[in-house]
Amino acid sequence: MILLLFDPRPKEHMEELFDREEELKLLRKAISTPLTLLLGVRRVGKTSLLKSFLNSLGAPYVYLDLRVLEDGGYSRAQLYRLLSDSVSNCISKWKKMLDCFRGIKGVSISGFSVEFDWREQTLTLTALLNKLNDYALNRTDEGFLIISFDEAQFLRLLAGGKGRIDFRGIMAYAYDNLRGLRFILTGSEVGLLLHFLRLDDASSPLYGRYASIVRVERFPRDRSIEFLRRGFMEANLPISDDALDAIVDKVDGIPGWLTYFGYMCLESGGASKEAIKAVTEKALGLVERELKELFKRSSQYKHVLKAISLEANSWSNIKRTVEAWIGRRLTNAETTRFLNTLINLSIVEKTDGEYKIADPLIAEYCRKI
C-alpha cells in the first residue's frame, strides 16, 4: 500500500502536500530575498513544506537538519560533518558543484562526496560559503543556491566560547556580499529563534537586515476533516463522520498529529473508538518523552502547564493556582520567567493577555499530570 498523506515521514514532493498553496506562494515570493524565516509550532508541517518547495524549484540547495548537532554536543566538528553530508547529497544532484571544492586545503573528495576538515583553520564557513556563491552565480541557470537550516534555533548553541561559531555574523556577511545565496531558516521554538537572530537589536550582526517571514498555521477544522477523509480514501479504508470528528477534536488541525492518528489507525485496521483511544495513549507517551527534559529543568513547569490546561489562563490566575499547589509564594519574576520560556519554546501561546497551550495533546497530557 502506497501512502501519501498518512506517510509518517516528512513529505518531499508537491503532490504529497495537502492544502499549502498559500504558504508555497509566499515562499516563492520570499526566495527573492536573502533571508526567509519559516515559522510554526511543532508538527505543523514546516519540514514537509520546506522539502517539497526545495524539490520543486530546480535550483540547487543544501538542506541541514540541525537536530543532529546534539549528537556531537553542538561542536564545530559535528557541524562540519553535517555540512559534509549535506553538501555531498547536493552534489549527487548537481555534480558541477564538486568542481568548486577541488584543490582547497582541508577538503577531501571521493567520487561525488566531499569531506570538510573542521581542524583546518583556513577552511572557515565563510570560505565555504564563498565557494558555493561562486558556483551559484557562474554555473547555475537560476543564479542562486539555497541553504536551508531546519530547526534553526539550535544555531544559538554554536555561539560563544573558544572555537564556537556565531552564525549571525556569518549570515550578515553573506547577506551583504554573497548575492548568489539564499537562506531559509525554520523554527519550531519560534521565540528562541527570533531572540537568537535579534533582527531588531542594534547589537546584533543581523540588525537592519530584512527577513521574509512565512508562518505555517494549523488546518481549520473543515480542512482537517478533508485531510483525514482523503488519507483514508487513499488507503481504501472507510471511516465514519463521528471518527473524523473525534480525531480532529483531539489534535486541533496539527498536520503531524493528523498524520500520526491516520497512520496508526491504518496499522490497527480501522478508526473505531477503541483504536482512537489507543492511538491517543501512544501519542501522549510521545508528549511525555518530549517534555521530560523541560521538567528536569524545573518541576514548576509541570505546575504552570497544568494550571493553563485547567483554564487558569491569566498571569495572576496561573500564579495563584501554582502557589496553592506548591505551598509557597512565587515571585513575579519567577512566574514571568516560566511563562516566557514556555512561549519561547512555542509550547504556550499568549493572545490578548491570556495563555493557552498550543498543542491540544500537550494540554491533555498536562491535565493528567
Number of domains in the chain: 2
- What would the grid cell of residue 277 be? 483511544
pLDDT over 90, % of the chain = 91
8, part of any domain: no
Domain boundary among 215, 239, 272: 215
202, part of any domain: yes
pLDDT in tens, 30-72: 999 999 999 999 999 999 999 999 999 989 999 999 999 999 8
Same structural domain, 194 and 47: yes
Average pLDDT of the residues in 316-334:
96
Distance, CA of 38 to CA of 179 (rounded, Å) = 21
The mean pLDDT value of the chain amounts to 94
Can you give the pTM of this predicted structure? 0.93
pLDDT in tens, 158-211: 865 556 788 999 999 999 999 999 999 999 999 999 999 999 999 999 999 999
The residue segments making up the domain with residue 353 are 298-369
Domain boundary among 215, 242, 259: 215
Domain boundary among 186, 215, 244: 215
pLDDT at 1: 55
pLDDT band per the 50, 70, 90 thresholds, residue 240: very high
Q: Which residues pair with 115 in a beta bridge?
A: 108
Residue 201 has phi, psi (to 5 degrees) of: -105, 120
117, part of any domain: yes
283, part of any domain: no
Give Cα separations from 34 to 150, 175, 197, 206, 213 (angstroms).
16, 6, 14, 12, 12
Same structural domain, 304 and 174: no
* CA quadruple 273, 277, 278, 282: dihedral sign: positive
236, part of any domain: no
